[in-house]
Structures are given as C-alpha cells and as structure tokens.
Amino acid sequence: MSVTKHTQGQPSAERAFTHRLAHYGISSDCVMDEVDTAAFTQGLHLGHSLAYSDLVPTAVRTVFTVAELKQLGGIPDDNFRHGLKDNFVDYPPVFDDVSMPSLAECQFDICQLKSKMTPQQLEYTLMAYVAYIKGDSSKVVGYEAHINAIHFPLTVTLYAIKHLHVSEGAALHLNNPETHPVCVVTERLTMDSKAELRVYTPAVIDSQCAAITNLIFVGENGKAGANAPNGFNGANGQDAVQGQVTDSYPMPFCVGQVRATRGLSGNHGNHGASGADGRMADFCLLCGLEFLGTIHISFDSACGGRGGKGGDGGSGGNGGSGADAAGVCGPLTAGEGAKGGNGGNGGNGGNGARGTDLIVSFRGLLPKIDFASQLDLSSMFCGGESGASGNGGQGGRGQVPGEDGVGGSAGQAGRSGRQPTLSLVAETS
C-alpha cells in the first residue's frame, strides 16, 4: 500500500458533485435523486442496459482510445506535473526494450497482432494500460497504439445518482459485459454495516461523501480445459489365404495363395485443451471528497483452470494370421503388427488473474481501509495445473510385433497472477 499526497483546494460535497457532473458531461437534469438497493429483489445491478441492468444508464459512451478513458475516469497527468508522486504505479519495461511486433507488420489485423505477441508482451501491454489510467501516461506512451488496438473500443456506462444507499441483503453489483467499465457518480454513497458492493469489471466510483463498508472484487476461476479424445485403434491386417493344390502333369503345384497383410497404425491421441485464465477487474478507482468509516476490502479467487488431459494413442492393428502348409502349398507367415499411436500432450494450465489495482483518491482525512491480508491472497491467484499426458498405444501383434506408441508430454502449469494492490492518493489543502 502506498500513500501519495497532492495539494488541492477542498470544495463542499455539493459543489464538488456539480463539478464532477460537468467533468463527465452529465446535465444536472439527468441525475437520479435517491436510489436504495432494497427496492430490488436481487440487489441492484448496474451495467450496460443491453446486458443486464436494473436502471437505465444516465449515459453510455463509446471510448475509442485509452487517452479518452483516462480523461473520463483516470488520474490526470497534471497531478504528476504538479508534484504528485507515482510510486504507487507499476510501470512495464520501456516499450523499445520489449521487441513488440508492430501493427504495420501485421497489416493492422488485431488477431494477427495478438498471435505474434508473446504472453510476456501481452502482460506488459496490460500493465501499461492500467499504468496509463492511474499513472503518468507519458511513461507508457510507447505502448499506446498497442493498448488501443487490443483493448479498445469499449463502452463506458455511467450512472449519476444524488444519494445511493446499499442495504443489507440487497448488494450493489457493478458488471459490464466483456470487462467494459462502469462509472457511478454520486454526491452521497452510504451502506449498511453488512451490505456489499460487488465489483466484477473495471469501475470508477466517484462519490463526494462515501461510507463504503464492504467492497468485494468478484473473481472467476478459469474453466478447466477439455480432455482430448483417444486415438482410434488401427485395423487388423488381412489373414493369409492358403492356396489350392492343382493336380497337373507332370507334378502338382499350388495356386491362389494370399499372404497376410500388416496391421494399420493406431491414430495419435489428440492434445488436451488449455485451461482458461482467471478473471478479475483490472482496476477500480474510488475518488471523492471524503470517505467515512472503515472500508473492508476482499477478493474472490481468480486462479487459472487446469489443462485438459491428452488423449491416449490408439493401439496398432494386429498383423493378419498366417496359414499352415497344405500339401505342396507352403506355410504363410503372419503379417507384421502395426505401431501404436502416440499419446497426446496435456493442455497448459490457465494463468491466474492479474489482481485488481485499487486506487483511492481522496481529499480530507486518510480513509480507514481493512485490506485483504497477503496470507489470504497468497493462494487466490494461482496458475492452473498442467494437463496430464496421454499414454502411447500398444503395438499390434504379428510375425514382427509393432512398436508401442510414445507417451505425450504433460502441459505447462499456468503462471500465478500478480496480487491486488492498494494505492492511496491524498489530495489535501
């Protein structure tokens, strides 16, 4: 946790609320007066109206660049130019040092760009995205084109409510599809002592006077990768057919003999699917004039899913049976056994989610925050287990036995995600 101070005047809650409405481009005529989550049987859901929301949004904005999103709900760069320290920001390496593929070389095809980027490069781009929002954007400006290509456009859903109260047993849920941000702007935000504010996707909670009791970041464990089907067994070879003795002058001879054939090889087992990555909101910004009481902050688990098991190789087909001698018709040997199929590789485990960056920007007294302990968080962002390898198929029987198939390789375990962070940015007079 870090605390950073920045000097600024301290307006009243009402004047500050009016100022924030103007910042978001919201007319005071559009503000809902008072909303209580107790009026909703399953709590109050705020998100995109086309997905699931109990209220009509005050505004829905399509944001095309990370610079627009920072202006809408990030910490302004001017704060850093006027003395705000950025020691609470996790910056990635300098862009020129990470050998990033360019958009031009990928013909501006985003799918091609992402396929050429390594997992490390994708992780750095996500770090730069969050750092751009909460930190000094000039330090990650090199990543800007890649951030915009991978993470934008997105839709920001805004709600403006003069007084929002969260009642016990009727949680407030902030959730937008495809991890698009939700922004809630209030003059007052109050909660019962056991009420819950549950955050699923990136969120900005801008409240001039907030009494937040329980803030919960809802994670999602990645689903396990599917186990792969086994390879098919190879077909057996054709049996030998003994010929017939023809009684011809001056001596009998054998005609019509058919030799046994070799069995067919078993099919290889398929590779197991990779487990999905864990999921959690990338960032959450709490900002306002004053925070009352203690904010209890907790996190759900967001581990990667287990990799799927590789399929076993199919058994090789047996060689066809031979035939005993019959008169002048000599014996026919059995066919060779076929090779068993190789086992499939196990799927890789999914990566643990990158824990949420929580930034609390305040003016007034230092907020009292009960943040989840490192001990509680240590196992909540783990990588998924590697998928087991498939076994090689057995070689077929025959005059010469077929070789057994080779077992597959186990998948790689997923990487653990970075644990959530808490940054306190104090704006005091």
pLDDT in tens, 141-174: 999 999 999 988 988 899 999 999 999 999 999 9
Q: Which residues contact 364 (CB under 8 A, 6 or more apart)?
A: 10, 289, 290, 291, 428
Residue 256 resides in a domain = no
pLDDT average, residue stretch 127-146: 91
pLDDT range class, residue 11, cuts 50, 70, 90: low
Residue 113: partners with Cβ closer than 8 Å, 6 or more residues away: 101, 103, 106, 146, 149, 150
Q: What pLDDT does residue 186 have?
A: 95
* 79 domain residue, yes or no: yes
Confidence check: pLDDT of 10 > 70: no
d(CA 197, CA 296): 10
Q: State the average pLDDT for the chain.
A: 89
- What does residue 362 show for φ and ψ, rounded to 5 degrees? -140, 160
Residue in the block written with tokens 């098991």: 309
Residue 284 confidence (pLDDT) above 70: yes
**Predicted pLDDT at 93:** 94
Query: What is residue 349's predicted lDDT score, i.e. its pLDDT?
Result: 96
The per-residue pLDDT for 427 is 64
Q: What is the CA radius of gyration of the chain?
A: 33
Q: Is residue 88 very low, low, confident or very high in pLDDT (cuts 50, 70, 90)? A: confident
Strand partners, 290: 209
pLDDT at 270: 96
Q: Is residue 403 part of a domain?
A: no
Asked, for residue 124, whether it belongs to a domain, the answer is yes
Which has the minimum average pLDDT: 47-56, 230-239, 297-306, 402-411? Answer: 47-56
Mean pLDDT of 72-85: 81
**370 close to 294: Cβ distance less than 8 angstroms:** yes
Does residue 380 lie within any of the structural domains? yes
In-domain check, residue 12: yes
* Angle in degrees, CA 26, 80, 298, rounded to 5: 70
Candidate from 77-86, 349-358, 368-377 with smallest mean pLDDT: 77-86
What is the SS3 assignment for 338?
A: coil
> Which residue type, as a one-letter code, is found at position 315?
S
Does residue 66 lie within any of the structural domains? yes
The predicted model gives 374-380 an average pLDDT of: 83
Question: How far apart are the C-alpha atoms of 24 and 155, rounded to whole Å?
Answer: 14
Grade residue 366 by pLDDT with cuts at 50, 70 and 90.
confident
> In the structure, what pLDDT confidence band is assigned to residue 379 with cuts at 50, 70 and 90?
confident
How many structural domains compose the chain? 1
Alpha carbons 132 and 123: distance in angstroms, whole number: 14
Range of the domain at 136: 2-229+279-311+352-390+419-428
Alpha-carbon distance of 94 to 131, in angstroms, equals 13
In this structure, is residue 326 part of a structural domain? no
Nearest residue to 427 (alpha-carbon basis) of 32, 24, 9, 147: 9
| Distances, alpha carbon 284 to alpha carbons 42, 63, 158, 181, in Å | 23, 17, 14, 9
